[in-house]
Chain A
């Protein structure tokens, strides 16, 4: 069972929800796919860590074999190759590692080499296995790092284990990649008009992927909540309402896992996980002894 936690905008509470869901599950894997700024590990402080490099294939051109026929340049739809002074010039940041130029070259002048784009760090923290994807600074896209994180998650995923995918903010390719294999999506929303706008964007995304989903309303106050009103109006499942609470904010900024600190939050997240399990059609697997 894999649950993706996402939101249209950053700072909505994805990591709060994802970390605490993983912490209340009996046996879980927390996969941080927010590879541009992963922060779940700050809460889990994992030990026994191992690191994997993430690489992508890029072309390596042997100019002694190149006849300057231009076939590779004309083929590259990502404009990663330019034909300059009768030779192909390569722009690594634009390459999507499709391998087309290597296959196409009639002179076998192009081979593939590995280019490091990031790393994946796997560790343990009590009942939680943590997988953290980190994109190298200056890289254009984190998709390949996210794929590696999800491959690691799939290796750990067994019946009875809850996989929690902490997604990047927004609704672009890196989010699509993160939710691709999720069985259920949890959308975290803020009680503002801006928050609603971003919620609508991710609703459109998860519907496009035919993913079952429910909404967690975060930072709720006594004031009007446009995100809640929208969910009621559209008959969408509200999984939980988390209050705008100074003590919770304090716990988060201290790097604490809220469910380990206060029975109130423990109760809220156990009930949230139960509800997700029920919605997704799985048996409850929360650890009530915690």
Chain B
């Protein structure tokens, strides 16, 4: 099973945004191997959440550790059977450790998104 975390430009911290994070870190839960993939969505004029979700879904991910998630992406993850866990730390390592200890709770607060703000 794989775990995904949205990461910021530093590639060491959790990104505050999921849909428009520049990268995702994909962690193989069995081997601990970490890979960074580009998120194709940050520049999308609309539907960034879906596009980002698609790139994560295609990585055979079963869990996502993220501080937040928008409505459309959450719907896609739900359909794909991917669980969302809320991170409390900016550090990727701390977030992973907390997840492995079972300390992270499922993300409940799905925000309605920022749709239409760039005009359509």
Contact = CB atoms under 8 A, between A and B. Distances in A.
A and B bind:
yes
A122 to B, nearest CB: 26
A19 to B, nearest CB: 27
A79 B41 CA distance: 10
Contacts of A78: 46-47
A82 interface: yes
A256 B80 CA distance: 56
Interface residues of B, number: 21
A167 B116 CA distance: 18
Interface in B34-93: 41, 44, 46-48, 50-51, 53-54, 57-58, 72, 75-76, 79-81
B57 A141 contact: no
A80 B50 contact: yes
B102 interface: no
A3 B22 CA distance: 45
Interface residues of A, number: 17
B115 interface: yes
Given A82-B76, A84-B79, A91-B72, 4 more contacts: A82-B79, A85-B80, A141-B120, A172-B119
Interface of B: 41, 44, 46-48, 50-51, 53-54, 57-58, 72, 75-76, 79-81, 115-116, 119-120
22 contacts: A78-B46, A79-B44, A79-B46, A79-B47, A79-B48, A79-B51, A79-B54, A80-B50, A82-B53, A82-B57, A83-B57, A84-B57, A84-B76, A84-B80, A91-B72, A93-B115, A94-B47, A94-B72, A140-B120, A172-B119, A173-B119, A173-B120
